[in-house]
Amino acid sequence: MKHTHFLAAITAALLSLTMYAKTATTAISVVPYPQSVEIQKGTFKIKGTPVNCDPAMDELSRDAVAKFAVQLSKVTGRTCSFASPVGITKTIASGSSKGFLFYVDPSLAEEEYTVNVTKKAVLVAASSRAGFLHSIQTLKQMLPEAIYGSKAAADIKWTLPCVAIKDKPRFAYRGTHLDCSRHFFSIEEVKKYLDIMAVYKQNRFHWHLTDDQGWRIEIKKYPALTQVGAYRDGTMIAKDWDSNDGIRYGGYYTQDQIREIIAYAYQLGITVIPEIDLPGHMLGVLAAYPQYGCTGGPYKVWSRWGISDDVLCVGKEETMLFLEDVLAEVAELFPSEYIHIGGDECPKVQWKTCETCQAKIRELGLKDDEHGTAEQHLQNYVTQRMQAFLATKGKKIIGWDEVLEGKLGDGATIMAWRGVKHGLKAIDLGFDVIMTPNTYCYIDYYQSKDRDNEPLAIGGNLPWQKVYSFDPCEGVPADKQSHILGPQCNLWTEYIGTDEHLEYMLLPRMIALSEVQWCDLDKKDIDRFETSLKSHQYKILDIMGYNYRKDK
Ligand code: ACM
Ligand code: ZN
């Protein structure tokens, strides 16, 4: 008996030790979880604590820290004064620092940062604005959720746990996409989308601005694109393909509004990558300028979903010049080094019978061969021509993985959406890849098998747990992994007509993806992540005013 008791006591002791070890290593609830976390004893108390930064920091980084100080003051109800005094690094070296101190450490990599919280001070170092922005997001996640609010919460204990963090992302490209063609979202909602991306350290916003169901970007040289192409006569109802609700629907972003979004994203550390989807998915253009089609129309902005056979007539030189004009304005507007030129789902039926397209095929000497059909090579001619044109504007292209059909010009980046295998093929051919396989990254899919209890969706079943399980480098030889720029989740909006529904589809799946994007494989831990979601992240979403899907 005694012996059994002894064993039970040992087991209990071991169990509590393991549990202690688990709590000790997960005592911060930050997502995406930092690469290195050493929890120490004690806490740092915030009570009208000064926030200082190194004058060597660039102005925008200092602005970001100043904004953090303002927010801290607001929520703690005590003034946390911001200053940028000369000689701050000497204080750090002497070990006599107090309060928050942000400083430049040039030895850290781009995006890397360190946070060292002791009972006396919070030392934060980075070498770039991205690193400082990440450090602020990490600090905010270590604070009570009220830091995300707009009200003073003076009765809360405002403390940070003593901890040493050293952190940097696994992937440089950490994207989320939004389709604003199938449904149009206001500037305010797009900003809200960017806000939550920034919380989870994402840095690329892929903005799908044109499609068969509406052209959403003002192009000065072609006003009918938005006067005509931005509006449809109605929208199909649910999945009844021949129905139409008869309600005129549309909208577009002016170039000023687009500049506003780009600037807003920039201060959050996010680059906006626009997509002009060509040469298919172009009914928005054809409704406005039927002369750029093979059949001459008449065309209408589509009120139904799917893939239209009506595509651009790329045999006509005037169509090419039109595309170049549009891309010239796009390149001028967006500072991003990448412009996405689509290339997906372009049926070739009309090109096969169009005399102009066939004449172009003959002129270019295009033939069916082992790389593809003559018509696929014709699409490839468009891709290469747009790539060369954008290169004259200092831009590189991203294309959906269909652009790999036919021979592709060097330097293009492939967005693999029809499965990882297309990404692997692109890597084999020497191209850079952004991994967005629909099986893990299409967050327009259902979030449960129980469809009756979910809002109508396009299909599939992609719970956050499956998103979390994605490894973009699986099956990629180590020496080729540098070709994977990073993963991205895509949110197509055929069945998503409201802000609430949009957020429900985004969250928490985008949060799960953020750990795929950020964490080294050995730092991912689905149990730790789930605990953080339920105990902390959902509260952040509540305070910030997002709708999201809770596990039922
Ligand atoms: C796509 O989902 N058609 C890229
Ligand atoms: Zn044609």
**DSSP class per residue in 491-542:** ---TT--SHHHHHHHHTTHHHHHHHHHHS-GGG--HHHHHHHIIIIIHHHHH
Spacing, Cα 433 to ligand 1 middle (Å): 15
Range 2-167 has CATH code 3.30.379.10: yes
- Tokens, residue 85: 């005094």
Query: What DSSP element (H or E) covers 65?
Result: helix 59-76
pTM: 0.95
- In which residue ranges of the chain is CATH 3.20.20.80 found? 175-544
Which pLDDT does position 6 carry in this prediction? 46
End-to-end CA distance of the chain: 45
Residue 211 among the catalytic residues:
yes
Contacts for 432 with CB less than 8 Å, ≥ 6 apart? 413, 414, 426, 483, 484, 485
How far is the centre of ligand 1, averaged over its atoms, from the C-alpha of 461 (Å)? 17
Q: Would you tell me how many other CB atoms lie within 10 Å of the CB of residue 356? A: 15
pLDDT, residue 94, reads 86
Q: Pick the residue whose CA is nearest to atom 1 on ligand 1.
A: 344
**What is the dihedral sign for C-alpha 434, 437, 441, 445?**
positive
Nearest to 25 by CA among 533, 538, 539, 531: 531
Tell me what pLDDT residue 551 has. Answer: 87
Nearest ligand 1 atom, CA 442: 2
Nearest CA residue ID for atom 2, ligand 1: 417
134 is catalytic: no
pLDDT at 213: 98
Relative to the CA of 417, which ligand 1 atom is closest?
4
Q: How close is the Cα of 348 to the center of ligand 2, in Å?
A: 10
**What architecture is the 175-544 domain classified under in CATH?**
Alpha-Beta Barrel (3.20)
The angle subtended at Cα 51 by Cα 45 and Cα 54, nearest 5°, is 135
Provide the pLDDT for residue 27: 79
CATH 3.30.379.10 region(s) of the chain?
2-167
Residues 6+ apart with CB under 8 A from 298: 290
Could you report the average pLDDT of every consecutive run of 10 residues in the chain (552 residues)? 46 44 63 97 96 96 98 97 90 88 97 97 98 98 98 94 98 99 98 99 99 98 98 98 98 99 98 99 98 97 98 98 99 98 98 98 96 95 97 98 89 97 96 98 98 98 98 95 98 98 98 99 98 98 98 81
Pick the atom of ligand 1 nearest to 281's CA.
3
